[in-house]
Amino acid sequence: MFENMNLDVLLPYKVESLPKVAIILLNYNGWVDTIECLESVLRNDYPNYQVIVVDNNSQNNSIKYMQEWADGKFDVCLRQDNPLRNLSFPPVTKQIPYFYYTRREAEKGGKPELEDTLKDIDFQNITTKYPLIFIQTGENLGFAGGNNVGIKYTLAKNDFDAIILLNNDTVINKDSIRKLMDAYKNNQNSGLFGGRIYYYSKPEIIWYDGGKFNKWLGRAVHINMNKSNIHSKSAIKEVRFITFCYVLIPKRILVDIGLLDESYFMYMEDLDYSYRILKKGYKLYHVCNSEIYHKVGASSELEENSSFSAYWVMRNRVRFIKVYLNIITAIIAIAFIILLRLLRFIPYIWTGKWEIFKAQIKGIICSITSSHNNDS
């Protein structure tokens, strides 16, 4: 619908008649990736959006560097041979108006009356009329907790129709948000919406193309993972899982379902939310033509990457099973997970991944012996 629109001549009332979406990016020590992501987001062709960057108490001055970038003091350089360089380059014109809030200020809705004073400023080649928002949480709240701060800010402001959670280590096509919003406008308040995600390092290879749930492993399975040249028969289809690397959540559903479950801290909170959505009778929509690119490892599972990841992935798988599956199914599923770990005992020792194995077992034991409350 807006493929060929000229944003420079689009009248304000026309922009404001479109649903407003808040795009939330969570940063933790990843300011370089976040800036590259912002460069792609701020040139997208859906005109009624505002970007909120939540910093999870980074230890490398991320907020300072991101503010200096917005002030026009530097731009992040991208290699000439980067096949996705055109999505974030040349840099958008600086300075970019922004507001900085503490967690407490943000969760009260910030200062909307001051933000409104910047709405009519000419942002030149930036395609939003709203200032950029930086929020400092003051502590590492994990994926769910950090994103919840951004969500609470938008709920308190109460001037949006939907939110998009977008991983900071992604870049998007110019039309990605518009196509996701088109799907939302045609199916408002009936469910969540996600898009197709490719590997950043291999832009022709799919990482996520919709998902489903394997209850015996307590995990989600990505459809068409590591495949290429997939042509979908329809632009939108129903799935059983949406990764929160890239997801649109309508405001009505946020109010009905609630925030992300912070007891997961990291990993599995998206499967939890997807499951809660389906139990309430909503749907999960995969928008095939809304495409982004994610800086994720192309061959390793999360629990193979580090002891830290191994612990949280396994702990949260078992926790999810305990919370949502009936007792008989849960016992069988947990026993199956333990058996698979034991079968991999020798390969772990042989490949020098003993610490990974120990972290997995620790995560399983922690979840089995704990209550369903926040034990992170």
Which token pair is 323? 């919370």
Instruction: Give me the number of domains the chain comprises.
Output: 2
Do residues 200 and 259 both lie within one domain? yes
Within 8 A by CB and 6+ apart from 208, the residues are 194, 196, 197, 222, 223, 225, 243, 245, 294
Question: What is the pTM assigned to this prediction?
Answer: 0.89
Question: How many angstroms separate the CA atoms of 30 and 42, rounded?
Answer: 18
Q: What is the pLDDT of residue 167?
A: 96
Do residues 163 and 60 both lie within one domain? yes
Helix orientation angle between 307-324 and 327-343, rounded to the nearest 10 degrees? 160
Do residues 143 and 208 both lie within one domain? yes
| 89, part of any domain | yes
Which token pair is 55? 């910093």
Query: Contact, 50 vs 135, CB < 8 A?
Result: no
Q: What is the pLDDT of residue 373?
A: 47
| 316, part of any domain | yes
3-class state of residue 44 by DSSP: coil
Do residues 156 and 249 both lie within one domain? yes
Look at the alpha carbons of 204, 208, 210, 215 in this order and tell me if their dihedral is positive or negative: positive
Domain that holds residue 315: 302-369
3-class state of residue 213 by DSSP: strand
Do residues 228 and 359 both lie within one domain? no
Q: What is the pLDDT of residue 5?
A: 38
Q: What is the pLDDT of residue 142?
A: 94
Q: What is the pLDDT of residue 117?
A: 85
| 210, part of any domain | yes
Do residues 189 and 129 both lie within one domain? yes
CATH number where 210 lies: 3.90.550.60
Long-range CB contact pairs, 220-225, < 8 A, 24+:
220/270, 220/271, 220/274
| 6, part of any domain | no
Nearest C-alpha neighbor of 194 from the set 205, 204, 179: 179
| 375, part of any domain | no
| 225, part of any domain | yes
Q: What is the pLDDT of residue 12?
A: 44
Per-residue pLDDT of the chain (376 residues), as tens digits, is: 333 333 444 444 467 789 999 999 999 999 999 999 999 999 999 999 999 999 999 999 999 999 999 999 999 888 889 999 999 999 999 999 999 999 999 999 999 999 988 876 666 779 999 999 999 999 999 999 999 999 999 999 999 999 999 999 999 999 999 999 999 999 988 999 999 999 999 999 999 999 998 877 778 999 999 999 888 877 899 999 999 999 999 999 999 999 999 999 888 899 999 999 999 999 999 999 999 999 985 334 455 568 888 888 889 988 989 988 889 988 998 998 888 888 877 777 777 777 888 888 888 898 888 875 444 3
Do residues 337 and 232 both lie within one domain? no
Q: What is the pLDDT of residue 302?
A: 52
Do residues 195 and 273 both lie within one domain? yes
Q: What is the pLDDT of residue 297?
A: 56
